[in-house]
Amino acid sequence: MSFPEKSGISNMNKQKNIYFASDQHFGIPTLEKSREREVKFIQWLDEIKQDAEAIFLLGDLFDFWFEYKTVVPKGFVRVLGKLAEIRDSGIPIYFFVGNHDLWMKDYFETELNIPTYRDPKEFIFNNKTFLIGHGDGLGPGDKGYKRMKKVFTNPLSRWLYKWLHPDIGMWLAQYLSTQNKLISGEEDVKFLGEDNEWLVQYAKRKLESKHCDFFVFGHRHYPMEIQLNKNSKYINTGDWISHFTYAVFDGKDLELKKVEN
């Protein structure tokens, strides 16, 4: 499999950083608990916008998202407004669709001016090569989820689902999200060992054909920082449910950080 088309910033401002975060899953377990995490995430966005060269959101911002022809799901006004404010200020934001918001269409692009990607994409910053994505369905194994993803991304499935009343469709999606691990595509939230972490194996296979300085993914809900070889590193950004972690690139190195209470 070939690397995707490159883009990025050849020379970063020395006073700026690039930030990466994923798996906020706003909407669960309750609206009240979700609101608490949403406020914390917005506070983080307010902090990093002071020195952000760019912001990458690596998927599952919402626990479920479905765009009908003329309406979008109720809620999330604060975080959407904050993203619009940051983007309008001139800071680039990039969004990678996750397995929980895979039915996203063009809302982020048309309303927020935020480009949306469905597959891993290569970026270059300060002559460092990044391969960035959500991470679901990549690497060996996970065959049950890969089959399920094909069903969900089928245009017929989307067309049929839109005919459900939104109250029914949202309830059904949230129920399945929390009850069926095959649909969520999540592993147990613990370190499986370097040889069993399938995104690590995916990165190592990529390195057999081409060098990449940093592999940055979400999806696993477990923060990881693994040195693949002398010049390549794998980062998993964790989540904003229990870890509240993110990655930051200062122009030279990429490292994990945690939002403290």
Residues 6+ apart with CB under 8 A from 117: 94, 95, 96, 97, 133
Reduced to 3 states (helix: H, G, I; strand: E, B; else coil), residue 213 is coil
CA distance 56 to 94: 5
Q: Which domains does the chain have, with CATH numbers?
A: 6-258 (3.60.21.10)
**Could you tell me the pTM of the whole model?**
0.87
In whole numbers, what is the pLDDT of the chain averaged over residues? 85
CA distance 160 to 169: 11
Residue position matching structure tokens 């975060």: 21
34-56 tens-digit pLDDT = 999 999 999 999 999 999 999 99
Give the per-residue pLDDT at 91. 97
Alpha carbon 251 to its chain centroid, in Å, reads 21
CA 81 vs CA 62, 70, 112: distances in Å:
15, 19, 9
> DSSP string covering 113-180, please?
---EESS-EEEEETTEEEEE---TT-SS--HHHHHHHHHHTSHHHHHHHTTS-HHHHHHHHHHHHHH-
104-113 tens-digit pLDDT = 888 999 999 9
H or E segment to which residue 106 belongs: none
Give the per-residue pLDDT at 148. 65
Give the per-residue pLDDT at 4. 44
Query: What is the pairing mode between strands 17-21 and 254-258?
Result: unpaired
Crossing angle for the helix pair 77-88 and 31-48, nearest 10 degrees?
A: 10
Average pLDDT over residues 59-78: 82
Give the HSE-up count for residue 4: Cα atoms under 13 Å, Cβ half-sphere: 14
CB atoms within 10 A of CB 80: 16
Residues 6+ apart with CB under 8 A from 139: 198, 199, 200, 201, 202, 205
Residues 6+ apart with CB under 8 A from 149: 99, 102, 136, 137, 185
Reduced to 3 states (helix: H, G, I; strand: E, B; else coil), residue 65 is coil
User: Is residue 257 a contact partner of residue 244, using CB atoms and an 8 Å limit?
Assistant: no
CA distance 1 to 96: 19
Q: Is the pLDDT of residue 182 over 50?
A: no
189-202 residues labelled b (16+ CB within 10 A) or e (exposed): eeeeeeeebbbbbb
Q: Is the pLDDT of residue 140 over 50?
A: yes
Q: How confident is the model at residue 147 (pLDDT cuts 50, 70, 90)?
A: low
189-248 tens-digit pLDDT = 787 888 889 999 999 999 999 999 999 999 999 999 999 999 999 999 999 999 999 999
Question: Could you give phi then psi for residue 251, rounded to 5 degrees?
Answer: 105, -20
H or E segment to which residue 17 belongs: strand 17-21
CB atoms within 10 A of CB 14: 8
Give the per-residue pLDDT at 175. 65
